Structure 1
Amino acid sequence: MGNALAGPALCGPDAAKIQLVHECKFPMYVVKVSDFLNMEGAPMPHHVLEQKGLLHIWYPGMFVIFVSHQWLAATHPDPHGKQMAVLRQSLCGIIEGTVHVENDMISLIKGRGRCELPGAVRRQVQEGFLFLDWFAIPQLTARHEGVNEDAQSKAALAVQSIPSYVESSDLFVALVPELTHVTRGTRCNYPSWLGRGWCRAELWCHLLSNKPDTSVILVHSALEAEFMFPLDWQHNTVAEGEFTVESDRAVVVKLSEVAVDSKIRHLGMEGPIGLYRFYVAYRAKLLGRPTLPWDLVGFLESFRFPSFQDALFDQTASGALCAVLAGDTRMLARLIWRRADINHRVSGLSELGFYDSQTLLMVAAKSHQKPEVLSTLLELRADVNARDRSGLNCAFYVRSALHVQVLVEAKADLHSTCVPLGLAPLTGASSSADTDTVAAMLEALCDPNPELSGAGYGPLHGVAGFARHCNRYSAKTARLLLAWRADIDMRARPSGKYQVLTLAARARTGLGQASGSLTTRRVAALPGITPLAIAAMLGDGELTQLFLEFGAEMLANDRGDLPEDLAASNGQDHLVPILATFCV
């Protein structure tokens, strides 16, 4: 059997008690990080690690990193050890402080406070333990119909216990470098991982747990790690995930329901009330179920408003905001008729991706509500062109072609760039919406080559820079924009305070003061960067190939970095050969 270490520095008499929502049916086996860092090549399976005495049984107080990943072959998770090499290098970088885990770029652009992994956590990582399915589960195989169907086998019991393993872990790491699936020949990366039903289930069990820290670390390469953008998980429900074995869907959906309801109960007891109301309102959408209208008594009781007056005027997740998030147009109209603020601005929900100063109309668009919710707000005289503190209006946040139609009918401004951020609404749609939405914007005569100001990038830059968040559409959207004559070689031109920020970042990188900071490196590279260079820097093989096929030039940015240089400096080694070939 594996080892159960007694009383190391990570565990003591004051270790916190773990209260699990999900049942643990099989012991949780983990490997010491220090032992993992000494391994090489393809990962060893459970029985080999057990024979070598490298497995340890989890107990409360252990600092555990749960690693979620997509298998790269039909019978082995990582036959060539490429994923594990990235994980080893990134963990070494995190421990040594050469790899910084920072906010996603959207949160930084929207002014959310800069967040980094604390030094104390880096030290815990060094002394901690690692959970990986291949290490932890006996005789594990990829899921197929008829394989491991014995529900009482050790492997089955361990798989059924994965939600509790997630809850017991302290850090959640999604290992998502772009690599090729050995069997299928397809790209495996963050979007493909996020599409997998079981990966979503692991993610949700972590995010919806009652742990004080539910942040998610995405490892894109050996040199690039960032915290997950919150809307990524909200828009990728477990019910809509991809399952190799279809019968798994109902099982995993039930797990997600248990997790959501547990989260709501916990927030109902502990607060904050704003987050509690968000999850109550969003429950049906998270679980992929139709939204049903509330009666007044049920609405007040469920959202814990002491009275109808409180629902009208409470500034902590107002009744109108709850109705918008729940998609309840009837309750929304009732509240507005009784003088609730139709242009109420959100506060306190930044950790969920809804930033301070955004209006109800913006929230309705960002949360993928049906067009009736937007049209109801506009009929009740919401300001269609209201701006948030970044200068963005609702047109920037549209998420469907029907949203665009509603805004066109309301004579919304779909063309003006925002101040101070300087981005056009089409750039927002290209960054975060599907291709049909972008097509609707283009048909409304939005310019695919808008005048640049502020942050200084255009729609094609947006596709490349944020493809990870909507990769299902990025290549198709890029082709559409190019068909509408978007400039494939457009160079980013930051101005004003954004130019000053890029110069400061360039100075820091030049002095070696921010070599590990992904954010600083990206900002420093921005002036003069092309869509191809952004795709290369972020390791997007599909877009890199597409831009090259469409004749993109290998242009250096203002600092002199070629796309090949940016890929190499960001650990995206898989793109260097193809970029070097086109450089010749």
Structure 2
Amino acid sequence: MLCCTTSATSTPLALYARSLARQVEEVEAVPMTVPMYVVSMEQLLKMTEVRPHERLLAEGIVVEFRDNMGKALFVSHQWVGTQHPDPEGTQLRVLQQALRFAMSEIKYIPLDFVTELSIPSAKGLPAAALLSNPVFVWYDYFSCPQLEGMQQEDPPSGRNGPRLTLADAISSIPTYIAACSFFVALCPIIQLPQQSQVLSPGTWAARGWCAVERTCRELSRDESWIMVKSPTHLELVLGKRSTAYGGPPGEGKFTVPEDADKLAPVLSNAVHRKLLDLLRAQDFVSYRVLLNLRPVYLRGLRVEDTCQVVPGFHEDAGSLYSLAVQRFFFQNGFTAVDETDKGGWSPLHYAALSGDTDSVRGLLAQRADPNCKTKKDMPQVEIPSSTSPLSICVLHNHNEAARVLIAARAWVDGRSGVVDPALTTAAEANNAEGIRILCHAGCSPHLKNSLGISALQSACASGCLAAVEQLVAQAGETVDLSGTLGCAMLYRGDNADLVFRLAEMRADVNEPTNMASEPPVVRLWVKLKGLQYKLGSATTSARVFYHAPGATPLFLAMLTAQYTGAAALIALGARLDTRNARGWTAADFTRGPEGQSVPEFLRTAFRDRSRIECQRVAGSACTDGYVEHSF
């Protein structure tokens, strides 16, 4: 069926959007109803310990933020202790050093490797942005009440209303993040020997609170955020790809499970406000993306399943599936199943994004093509053109909707997507059940995408252990482990459990990257990026691809600052002296001024040839503790 572009301007959605645009727009996207307390950058850089809000407020170090003061920076971090976020000031020192480094040693904060590859139009953050205006820092222990029972100071002069409470601060997190020009995820490697635990970017991403903060940033006007892995390793991250740095907040870990219930309405309201903002701006493509992503954002939280943003829907007589399509068209602004919007997506693509099986069934009943491909890249969710509804379904763990599409003869093999075939996206999403469904329907577990990346390599690149186990089970004795550790350390597979499991299956911990085995387009791309690096390009991809030929997994882990993975590889006996095609060794990343920010357990391993500390760290980073391997 041919797809036609929608030009409807009188749908209920379009009319409602115009009515919103005519309304007087508020000064702020999210009203500031409670004070936002911050500390100045100058005060932050002077601190030697992390003290609570009440103490800093009494001393006048914490102040209420107002727009005319400058710019605000939000710090998201995982608490080191149970009663105190940073008892020894370890995270504080990393934050201070990283900010000084960004403001004095580099011209811009580079994009992280995956962002740069998936969003070609994205740019790094000029370091001058941190210097152009005074910067004030929001940090939970500084900015929210912490000491129960302590009498708080009176509200600042000239402000009427109640004092800030912790409950107020929690409900205002989206407001605070919306008011911030910068968002920093502070997640250096920190060893906690007493708890036999290691904090890392992976543990930060798994925390429910941190996931809420990250999601609120994605819903703000500027969705970019800075990941601080070490005092000298900062990366700018963009995009809403559901697999990027953790899943939905409701699937995150909460020390107090009831906290998820407190955060559910906060996040739901943030999504609703963003939807109205997009309608007011008449950005219908972004609106449709977010509307249908809403079930993904709120998965695992106790909130209503339906979201009726556009008022006035009245059901006509019809079957359940026909009514579902009516409701879907009304809220999404479509009028026919064969429309394609300005984003290059059809109604079935958006229904697949939402996972609503009734809408999918209804659209298929009205002869929607189950294999209709997207016509354009969708940067809002980093989904490329020529992606099928089935790939979109399994990427977001909508497995019931995937079954409906497969029953309607959706392609399960490589025809389901050029860059993102369904099996690859299911692997990237750690969707083990989706992988099982696809393989049961006839998809080969050895399927590769157009870039020559296998589903197993894709799972490793995202650190998805459940997907790895399912793919290995489906492949049986024919499983091909080549390139798996390299992909894990090159992208976002910094997972000690994954490294140990792959090694247990006999993946080669010293396997060098082999450019000769890559497709011609990949070899050409690597050469081009290497040339750019030689000519002075400081982008992450230029640096990575310059060093990638002949690099071992350990070399790649050091290159991309995936330090728990590096510890696991060293614990497994990875060679420390292997050189890449440029003549570099992994130890070279521990030398020079920037090398001082590499964790001490790695510097010790390279300097003293001692693997003991890496074994301890790797063991602590594993879910079940370190299991000794011998090969």
TM-score by length of 2: 0.76
What pairs up with 1:353-368 in 2 under 5 angstroms? 353-368=382-397
2:207 equivalent in structure 1: 196
For structure 2, the 5+ residue unaligned runs are 1-24, 153-161, 307-320, 612-631
Matched, 1:385 2:413: yes
> How far apart, in 1, do the equivalents of 2:340 and 2:365 lie?
10
2:484 equivalent in structure 1: 459
Cα deviation for residue 190 of structure 1 reads: 1.6
Matched, 1:103 2:124: no
Say if 1:449 and 1:487, in contact at 8 Å, map to a contact too. Answer: no
> How far apart, in 1, do the equivalents of 2:346 and 2:534 lie?
48
Corresponding letter in the other structure for 1:288:
R
Say if 1:162 and 1:202, in contact at 8 Å, map to a contact too. Answer: yes
Matched, 1:74 2:90: no
Cα deviation for residue 317 of structure 1 reads: 3.3
Distance 1:236 1:482, change over 3 A: same
Cα deviation for residue 119 of structure 1 reads: 5.9
Say if 2:413 and 2:447, in contact at 8 Å, map to a contact too. Answer: no
What do the CA deviations read for 1:345-368 (whole angstroms, capped 9, x no partner)?
333522323223322222112112
> How far apart, in 1, do the equivalents of 2:89 and 2:208 lie?
24
Matched, 1:434 2:445: no
Cα deviation for residue 64 of structure 1 reads: 0.8
Distance 1:193 1:159, change over 3 A: same
Say if 2:72 and 2:182, in contact at 8 Å, map to a contact too. Answer: yes
Matched, 1:481 2:502: yes
Say if 2:557 and 2:565, in contact at 8 Å, map to a contact too. Answer: yes
Say if 2:108 and 2:127, in contact at 8 Å, map to a contact too. Answer: no
> How far apart, in 1, do the equivalents of 2:381 and 2:166 lie?
35
Of 281, 284, 306, the match for 1:273: 284
Of 227, 242, 253, the match for 1:242: 253
> How far apart, in 2, do the equivalents of 1:379 and 1:287 lie?
27
Corresponding letter in the other structure for 1:296:
V
1:563 equivalent in structure 2: 586
What pairs up with 1:112-123 in 2 under 5 angstroms? 112-118=120-126, 121-123=129-131
Instruction: Please report the RMSD computed on the Cα atoms of aligned residues, expressed in angstroms.
Output: 3.5
Distance 1:190 1:22, change over 3 A: farther
What pairs up with 1:401-420 in 2 under 5 angstroms? 401-415=432-446, 417-419=448-450
2:312 equivalent in structure 1: none
> How far apart, in 2, do the equivalents of 1:384 and 1:85 lie?
50
User: SS of the residue aligned with 2:515?
Assistant: coil
Mean CA deviation greater in 323-332 or 386-395? 386-395
Distance 1:459 1:254, change over 3 A: same
Say if 2:74 and 2:182, in contact at 8 Å, map to a contact too. Answer: yes
User: SS of the residue aligned with 2:452?
Assistant: coil
Corresponding letter in the other structure for 1:342:
P
1:324 equivalent in structure 2: 352
Matched, 1:221 2:230: yes
Matched, 1:263 2:266: no
Of 127, 134, 151, the match for 1:127: 134
Alignment identity in percent? 24
TM-score by length of 1: 0.82
Cα deviation for residue 82 of structure 1 reads: 2.6
Corresponding letter in the other structure for 2:607:
A
Corresponding letter in the other structure for 2:67:
P
Say if 1:333 and 1:380, in contact at 8 Å, map to a contact too. Answer: no
Say if 2:76 and 2:185, in contact at 8 Å, map to a contact too. Answer: yes
Mean CA deviation greater in 436-445 or 384-393? 384-393
What do the CA deviations read for 1:524-576 (whole angstroms, capped 9, x no partner)?
22111222223334444443333233322222322233223235556423322
User: SS of the residue aligned with 1:295?
Assistant: helix
Say if 1:42 and 1:82, in contact at 8 Å, map to a contact too. Answer: no
Say if 1:103 and 1:116, in contact at 8 Å, map to a contact too. Answer: yes
> How far apart, in 1, do the equivalents of 2:85 and 2:409 lie?
54
Cα deviation for residue 311 of structure 1 reads: 5.1
1:552 equivalent in structure 2: 574
Mean CA deviation greater in 402-411 or 172-181? 402-411
Cα deviation for residue 397 of structure 1 reads: 1.7
What do the CA deviations read for 1:197-220 (whole angstroms, capped 9, x no partner)?
2222222333223x2x12222111
Of 63, 73, 79, the match for 1:56: 63
Say if 2:414 and 2:448, in contact at 8 Å, map to a contact too. Answer: no
Matched, 1:299 2:328: yes
> How far apart, in 1, do the equivalents of 2:341 and 2:533 lie?
48
Matched, 1:519 2:541: yes
Cα deviation for residue 433 of structure 1 reads: 6.4
Distance 1:95 1:341, change over 3 A: farther
What do the CA deviations read for 1:423-481 (whole angstroms, capped 9, x no partner)?
22221122236323212222333765467xxxxxx11122233445xx6xx33333332
Distance 1:417 1:247, change over 3 A: closer
Distance 1:333 1:243, change over 3 A: closer
Say if 2:78 and 2:204, in contact at 8 Å, map to a contact too. Answer: yes
User: SS of the residue aligned with 1:204?
Assistant: helix
Mean CA deviation greater in 59-68 or 77-86? 77-86
> How far apart, in 2, do the equivalents of 1:567 and 1:339 lie?
60
> How far apart, in 1, do the equivalents of 2:391 and 2:380 lie?
16
Corresponding letter in the other structure for 2:98:
S
Of 330, 333, 336, the match for 2:361: 333
Corresponding letter in the other structure for 1:177:
P
For structure 1, the 5+ residue unaligned runs are 1-15, 452-457
Say if 1:45 and 1:135, in contact at 8 Å, map to a contact too. Answer: yes
> How far apart, in 2, do the equivalents of 1:380 and 1:90 lie?
53
1:572 equivalent in structure 2: 598
